[in-house]
Amino acid sequence: MCISRRLFYIFLLQAISMQLLLANVGSGQSVREVIIDLQAENESLSDILKLIEAKTDFVFAFDKTIEKRKDKLTLNYQQAALSEVLQEVANELGLDFKQINSTISVSKARKVRPKASAVESETTTIRGKVIDKDTGEPLPGATVKIKGTTQGTITDISGNFYLSATSGETIEVSYIGYKTMEKQLSNLVSDQISFSLESDFVQLKGVVVTGITQGQAKALNQQKNADNIKNVVAADQIGRFPDLNTAEAIQRIPGITISRDQGEGRYVSVRGTPLQYTNISVNGEQIPSAEGDVRYVALDVVPVDQLASIEVSKTLTPDMDGDAIGGSINLITRTAKGDIPDFFGTLAGGYNSLMNDFNGQAQLGYGQRFGKFGVLINGSYFRENRGSDNSELEWGTEDFGSGDEFIIDDLQLRDYEVNRRRIGASTTLDYSFNTSSQIYFKALFNRFTDQEYRRRFRLKPGGYSSRLAANESEFERDLKDRFEAQTIQSYNLGGRHVLGGINLDYEVAYAHSQEEEPDRIDMGFIYQDDTGESEVFDILMDVTDKDAPQWSLQNGLNPEDYDRFIFDGLELTDNLTTDASITTKINLEIPVQWGNLDGSIKTGFKYRNRTKERDNEVQVYDGFDGDLALDQLVGDFEDDDFHKNEYDMGFVPDEDKVEAFVDSNLNSFEINEKDTREESDLGDFEAEEEVIAAYLMAKLNLEKFTFIGGFRFEQTNFDYTANQVVFGYDPVEDDDFYERTDKVANASDYNFFLPNVQVKYSPDQWTNIRAALTYSYARPNFSAALPNQLISRENEEIEQGNPDLQPSSAMNVDLMAERYFSNIGIISGGFFYKRINEFIFNRTSEQSGGEFDGFEVTSPQNGKNANVWGVEVNWQQNFTFLPGPLSNLGIYANYTYTNSEAFIQNRADESQEDEEINLPGQADHVGNLALTYDDGKLQSRIAMYYNGSFLDELLDPGLDRFYADRAQWDFSVSYGVKPGIRVFAEFMNITNARLWYYQGSESRVMQQEYYGWWNRVGVKFDL
């Protein structure tokens, strides 16, 4: 590890030195690189040259005939290359300019020539920018090419491009939704050229239809011209859906499955693969996970109003991180656009029907360019009281003489109240030394907090005399009072330079995630009879309504006698997880041309060091020195409409009374050392990972084909430290006890060579046919790879992680056809297949040798394969071809079908053939449907997101946990009251769709939650 750290610091110093050196080189005295402001009205040549001398380090040399010329010129340039200024002077006056170091000689043109032919033909790198003529905003993803050839490029996120061209050639720029524009290069005194494209949007009653169509245009152009298969969503398009966090914005993209928390999207899965198979990045660099056990990132932390766009790459190129079997999601923050100050923001408030409470949102941003320097600052705040009415059941089987029958093992009623806050802030600072040399700094900070109160009533049958008759049942009431805060922040410092047509970029990035759970309190009470026994209830179950099973008491006892609920347990928790990474990278791209072939060769190096730590501090108490019954701490909270009036929870402990009582009487509680050690020690760990990567990639254009080929090599070294927790057993007392905790460590490494071949065929400017064969991998979750162990001598069982676990790897085959519409739309369809090796599953085996010989060991293992395949279709179109008001309609629709098979150890009989399952998280059907209306001022859409059912968790054969299908309908409408100001209203989950899980069969509901509906109304502005 120490050698690699030295390499990192050496590389860091080299990168900083390179940045300073290139900044100096980039400002060298070339007429093509010196930027100047020049205003002259009816001035002589001599006066104009003197003005230039005063503003630059150049001096002009010319004879008296030049000095005595009486020609008058009017010039008006801002932030223009000096070569561009001299170009116009040369054209107007028939002059030649020749630079020799800091001297520029001026002479009369040696021959009569066309007005725009000041120098002999030569080939050079043209630098340019493509912008919207009306707004001045850059247009990323524009196609820029030499007319009549296949030689070309696309603009970057700032609308800039670089292209080798020869005097006399014509540059053609095209962009979906804009009129194609051409410019002829009559000479190359100026190697800078700009294109202001005119919108081709339909005009109605004098109002240009922009907004959503502009957002679609930007996204679709970047998507169309990308080297790989990807989906791009621009901020303008995101804003037309009622999505507040990034996970919910991503759900609108084809092939995306999301998991929810309290009704909000949280985790994202791509194309039916497990969550850890998706790579999450901010501004091109991975962000670590704030949660202790896993690698995947909770995207409800990131407010969507901090982003300029979202890119979801379905196939990887060699210059991208290779640890993304499902796909790679890149969140791109905003940058300053123009010299005019840009103030944008949102002010909104709304209502949550379940909580009968209001929510609020405020967001404000400012961006502006000051010549070479650009600044963008953006901040937002969101608060809402959310909640859910939740019921949960666990099912088991009993044989009453005629085979196994399903019975309810556990029934819980949970009322959640969550005070949620989301803070986001971002900034981008950039400085352009000239058009070919730029440095930048980008920062993103997000903080997400939940103050959660969970109030629970629990029925636990002790046994069954028949399928519906449960005896010796327990009733419990408890409270969870938890504050949780997640923080994600990332910082990127880097530069981009073009030197003689060679592209160089480099970056140092730091990212940090953290999850805090301080001062959490869990307190429970259990019903007891006069003898102190808790198993007192005889219950008759009624499962007629599978969604809401009921029960009736058979022995006349009252579960609302709160003085009979006696203290049963207290947990005090203080957890902290941190995850930080620092990354350095450098990339070099060299243009190449062989006959009819043109393209580039790109290579690069990356180093990342990541450290993750988790510290759990849990105190478990199971006794109290004195009398403590629920009636002493019961609150007056009551849900009058709990679970659609299907249940009555009764009362539970009050959070304020519980907190005050614990603070005053902590010394009277009796600690349980065994449970305390298990909860505290087992989860603690330290992990350090080091990734070294290098790649080589070639891109070649041949007529209508684009070929990409190359490979990536990644090496991962890691050190993990965790705990082995051992529980002993006393046969005399028939009781287990805490024995010891030992530190255990492991170090290992693995390498991946990832070849990559992709082809794009474009029969015309509106059509792409793509094919890709790529290789990728995914590291296991931390909980699977840690060397921790939980050892029980009483049960002779060991549960442990597996530090020798290898990452899963995959061969990916992708085919995609895309047809773009000039009126801002696309129809596409494709097929994907993934062959996943080293699929990770839990295996049970017997320990051989050592202190715990013969113990049953359960741990994650490699060795099984999995296959995933599917089809994906996408249709976005504005119906501008329809007559009258119907031309304002549009559609946004996509559908993905996915199928998978994975093999695990047979759970019913280990000696039998492996058991086949679907990949956890893989839904057969996922789709979006939105109908839109947009006449420029009035914009509205009704949208539906559908998620089919999928396997969520493996339990026992026939009793696995499944996430059931769910469709959520949302509606949004906005109206432009004046340019740059819109009022809006949004309604989410308008049908009160529930989230629900089932156990083995839909007839056995395992969990269901109702969230109600919620809305927002407010104003958005961009001035």
Q: Which tens digits make up the pLDDT trace of 645-670?
A: 888 888 889 999 999 999 999 999 99
Top-confidence residue, 185 or 380: 380
Q: Which residues are CB-contacts of 16 (< 8 A; sequence separation ≥ 6)?
A: 508
State which of 70-74, 148-152, 485-489, 592-596 shows the largest mean pLDDT: 485-489
State the sign of the Cα–Cα–Cα–Cα dihedral 522, 525, 526, 531: positive
Burial class for 362, CB neighbours closer than 10 Å (0-12, 13-18, 19+): middle
pLDDT of residue 534: 63
Query: For residue 713, what pLDDT is reported?
Result: 97
Chain length of the chain: 1023
Q: How far apart are CA 800 and CA 797, in angstroms?
A: 10
Between 183-192, 560-569, 701-710, 908-917, the lowest mean confidence (pLDDT) is in: 183-192
- pLDDT class of 644 with cuts at 50, 70, 90: confident
Q: Which one has a higher pLDDT value, 344 or 594?
A: 344
Residue 622 clears pLDDT 80, i.e. is over it: yes
Quote the pLDDT of residue 533: 67
Angle at CA of residue 405, ends 402 and 411, nearest 5°: 155
CA distance 29 to 156: 26
Check if the beta carbon of residue 669 is closer than 8 Å to that of residue 726: no
Could you give phi then psi for residue 11, rounded to 5 degrees? -65, -40
Percent of the residues in the chain that have a pLDDT greater than 70, as a whole number: 91
Q: Is the pLDDT of residue 208 over 60?
A: no
Q: Identify whether the C-beta of residue 199 lies closer than 8 Å to the C-beta of residue 208.
A: yes
Q: Are 1021 and 343 in contact (CB under 8 A)?
A: yes
**CA 711, CA 167: separation in Å to the nearest integer?**
37
Q: Is the pLDDT of residue 514 over 70?
A: yes
Buried b (16+ CB within 10 A) or exposed e, 949-967: bbbbebeeeebbbbbbbbe
Query: Sorting pLDDT into bands at 50, 70 and 90, what band is 207?
Result: very low
- Select from 585, 813, 564, 566 the least CA-distant residue to 691: 585
> Tokens 């102190």 map to which residue?
532
CA-CA distance, 181 to 200, in Å (whole number)?
Answer: 12
Q: Which of 794, 669, 680 is nearest to 737 (CA)?
A: 794
**What percent of the chain stands above pLDDT 90?**
44
pLDDT of residue 956: 81
Q: Where is mean pLDDT largest: 117-126, 162-171, 485-494, 670-679?
A: 485-494
Cβ 388 vs Cβ 407: under 8 Å: no
Return the higher-pLDDT residue of 12 and 976.
976
Does 414 have pLDDT greater than 80? yes
User: Per mean pLDDT, which range of 102-116, 170-184, 263-277, 606-620 is the poorest?
Assistant: 102-116
> 546-551: long-range contacts at Cβ-Cβ below 8 A with a sequence spacing of 24 or more?
546/1003, 546/1004, 546/1005, 547/646, 547/1005, 547/1008, 548/391, 548/643, 548/646, 548/647, 549/393, 549/408, 549/411, 551/411, 551/459, 551/470
Residue 663: partners with Cβ closer than 8 Å, 6 or more residues away: none
- pLDDT for 175: 82
Q: How confident is the model at residue 714 (pLDDT cuts 50, 70, 90)?
A: very high
* Burial class, 629, CB count within 10 angstroms (exposed 0-12 / middle 13-18 / buried 19+): middle
Cα–Cα dist 751/774, whole Å:
16
How does residue 1006 score in pLDDT terms, banded at 50, 70 and 90?
very high
177-181 average pLDDT score? 81
Q: What is the pLDDT of residues 362-385, one digit of tens each?
A: 999 999 989 889 999 999 999 999
Residue 753 pLDDT more than 90?
yes
pLDDT tens digits, one per residue of 214-269: 666 777 888 888 889 999 888 777 878 888 889 999 999 999 998 888 889 999 99
8 A C-beta contact, residue 384 and residue 353 = no
The identity of residue 589, as a single letter, is E
Q: Can you give 472-496 as a three-state secondary structure string?
A: EEEEEEEEEEEEEEEEEEEEEEEEE
- If pLDDT is split at 50, 70 and 90, which confidence band does 769 have? very high
845 or 399, higher pLDDT? 399
Q: What is the mean pLDDT of the chain?
A: 85
CB atoms within 10 A of CB 481: 21
The residue ranking higher by pLDDT, 486 or 111, is 486
SS3 803: coil
Q: For residue 663, count other CB atoms closer than 10 A to its CB.
A: 9
pLDDT in tens, 849-885: 888 878 888 888 887 789 999 999 999 988 888 888 8
Amino acid identity of residue 186, one-letter, is S
Q: What is the pLDDT of residue 211?
A: 44
pLDDT band with cut points at 50, 70 and 90 for residue 196: confident
Say whether 325 sits in a helix, a strand or coil.
coil
213 pLDDT band, cuts 50/70/90, is low
Residue 160 vs residues 137, 358, 529, 592: alpha-carbon distances, Å: 12, 44, 78, 20
At 329 the three-state DSSP class reads: strand
* Burial class (CB within 10 angstroms; exposed 0-12, middle 13-18, buried 19+) of 908: exposed
Beta strands 103-108 and 59-61 are: parallel
| Two tokens, residue 625 | 């020195």
Average pLDDT over every residue of 315-340: 92
Cβ contacts of 907 within 8 Å, gap of 6 or more: 915, 954, 956, 957
* Lowest mean pLDDT across 10-24, 595-609, 685-699: 10-24
pLDDT at 125: 65
Q: Detail the DSSP E strand segments found in 222-263.
A: 230-234, 256-261
b/e for 853-874, b at 16 or more Cβ within 10 A? Answer: eebebebbbbebebbbbbebeb
C-alpha to C-alpha distance for 246 and 308, rounded to whole angstroms: 12
Which of 311-315, 931-935, 988-992 has the least mean pLDDT?
931-935
Mean pLDDT of the region 906-932: 86
Contact yes or no for 164/119 (Cβ under 8 A): no
Q: Within its chain, how far is the Cα of 795 from the centroid?
A: 43
pLDDT at 546: 85
Report the distance separating Cα 455 and Cα 388, nearest Å. 11
pLDDT at 117: 37
